Amino acid sequence: MNKITLAGQPLHAVLGAAPAVLIPFGFILDAMHSATGDEDYAKASYLSMAGGIIGGLAAGMAGVADYVADKPQGEARREGQLHGALTGAALLVGAANLVLRRQGTHARGGSLALTALSAAGVLASEYLGQRMGKEAGTGERAEAGVHADQDDIRIDHRAPDVEQYVAAGPSSLHAPE
C-alpha cells in the first residue's frame, strides 16, 4: 500500500482531523448563536465551518490518491467508497450552508440544521474511517484459510513475513492477487 505520509503518519488521516474537529465545533458555535443571539458565535461558526471544509478537501485529495494507489477490493473497496461519499456529502452540505450564510439567510434558522447535518455526516465518516484504519492495523482483514489438518489459520498478506507462511504449511491459503 503506497500511502502518502507526513512524519510517518498517513497524510489523509492527519488532514482528516480538520473537518472532524472544526465542523462539529462549528455546530456547537451555531447552537450557541441560536441560544444567545450573539453574532460573534455566528462569525466564529462560519470560520470554523470554512476551515473544516478546506481541510476536508485537502484530506479528500490525499484520500483519493491513497485509494487509487491501493486499489482495494471487496469490502475494503465498498467501505472506502462509502467513507468518501459520506465525507463528500457532508462537505457539500457544509458548503451550501456557507453560501446561504453569505446571502444573509443565517438568521432564518435553517443554518443550524444544515450545520448539524454536516457535523453528523463528518462524524459518521470519521467513525467509518477510524474503523477501517483499525481493521487494517490489526490484520482483521487478513485472509483466512484452513490448514491441512483442519485448523483455522490467518495470514496477513499486507505485511509479508516468510515465517508466517512457513508456519502455515500446506493450506488453502493463496498469495494476494
11 touches 4 (CB < 8 A) = yes
Tell me the three cell numbers of residue 106: 443565517
Instruction: Choose between 168 and 15: higher pLDDT.
Output: 15
Note the pTM of the prediction, 2 decimals: 0.71
Instruction: Choose between 176 and 48: higher pLDDT.
Output: 48
Arithmetic mean of pLDDT, 61-73: 84
Range 69-88 burial, b when 16+ CB lie within 10 A, else e: ebebeeebeebbeebbebbe
pLDDT, mean over the chain: 79
pLDDT for the residue 139: 44
Q: What percent of the chain has pLDDT over 90?
A: 35
Arithmetic mean of pLDDT, 35-41: 90
Q: Which of the four pLDDT bands, split at 50, 70 and 90, describes residue 143?
A: very low
| pLDDT higher than threshold 90 for residue 104 | no
